[in-house]
Amino acid sequence: MKRQYLVIESIRRLKNDVYYMTFTGDCHEVSAPGQFINIKVGGFYLRRPISICDYDIGHISIAFKVVGAGTQKMALAEKGDLVDVLIPLGNGFDVSKGGRNPILVAGGIGVPPIYCLAKDMVGRGEKPRVICGFNNADDVLPMTKFNEIGIDPTITTMDGSVGMKGLVTDAMYDEQYDYVYACGPEPMLKAVWSLAPDGQFSFEARMACGFGACMGCSCKTKYGSKRICKDGPVLYREEIIW
């Protein structure tokens, strides 16, 4: 991890309060889907941790939801602005430890890191199946980037306004799998965890430092206390305690 200044290459609204931002700069240390960056926002003491959506040599992208004043200010950034970030943070998903017949499950703003994982798997010659869950049609994020890599995710919405009516777990009942990669809100992760024979689960947490120094994001696991920012955000099924 190091502190870097990245340049905003583009920013656009994806849907309602969700924005997509691309940067140029030195991103070569990013090594796994599921890692995140911690962004300094002028006037705010704490940085904002945001999952990486896509990365390549010299380029990185994120998608973030406006949830407060800090992310609101981020949404007002412009092309060419310099952004102070800590990059990369967290462990990310490890596909070398995954099963032979995996499924990828995302909820809400957990979709971008799952896209990053899906792209990585496609690059390895796999064609992963993806389930993306949202509350309603208003929340459904564009699936264009998945389609561009040959994936047509199953969409679920709570009210049935788009795709299958119900939860991501309802769609999981229609699938055969031996391993699950998941990212999304904690109630969704818990429900997916209860169905998954094995898997990796990416957690969100309130963070301060973002790199393991303050212990502010600690959680209990079967193997002792772990910091979501440093030892996670991806935890393995067998270590998770709810």
Tokens coding 4: 């870097």
Number of shown-chain residues binding ligand FES (CB under 6 A): 13
We find the least distance from the C-beta atom of residue 208 to ligand FES, in angstroms, to be 5
- Number of neighbours of residue 150 by Cβ within 10 angstroms: 9
Query: 23-57 burial by CB neighbour count: b if 16+ within 10 A, else e?
Result: bebebeebebbbbbbbbbbeeeeebbbbbbbbbee
89 binds ligand FES (CB under 6 A): no
7 binds ligand FES (CB under 6 A): no
**Is 13 labelled as part of a ligand binding site?**
no
We find the least distance from the C-beta atom of residue 210 to ligand FES, in angstroms, to be 5
Q: Assign 186 to helix, strand or coil.
A: helix
**Is 71 labelled as part of a ligand binding site?**
yes
We find the least distance from the C-beta atom of residue 209 to ligand FES, in angstroms, to be 4
We find the least distance from the C-beta atom of residue 216 to ligand FES, in angstroms, to be 4
Q: Among residues 19 and 201, whose Cβ is nearest to ligand FES? A: 201
We find the least distance from the C-beta atom of residue 49 to ligand FES, in angstroms, to be 8
**Is 217 labelled as part of a ligand binding site?**
yes
Phi, psi of 12 (to 5 degrees): -150, 155
**Is 219 labelled as part of a ligand binding site?**
no
**Is 50 labelled as part of a ligand binding site?**
yes
We find the least distance from the C-beta atom of residue 220 to ligand FES, in angstroms, to be 14
Spatial separation of the C-alpha atoms in residues 114 and 9, rounded to whole Å: 22
Going by C-alpha positions, the residue among 182, 168, 233 that lies closest to residue 204 is 233
Strands 2-15 and 82-89 turn out to be antiparallel
Tokens coding 192: 């997916």
Residue 235, burial from CB neighbour count under 10 angstroms (0-12, 13-18, 19+): buried
String of contacts with ligand FES for each residue 203-232, x by CB under 6 A? ----xxxx-xxxxxx---------x-xx--
Q: Among residues 52 and 229, whose Cβ is nearest to ligand FES? A: 229
**Is 27 labelled as part of a ligand binding site?**
no
Distance of CA 62 to the CA centre of its chain: 9
Q: Which residues are annotated as a binding site for [2Fe-2S] cluster?
A: 209, 214, 217, 229
Residues that bind ligand FES (CB under 6 A): 207-210, 212-217, 227, 229-230
| Binding site feature residues | 48-51, 70-71, 209, 214, 217, 229
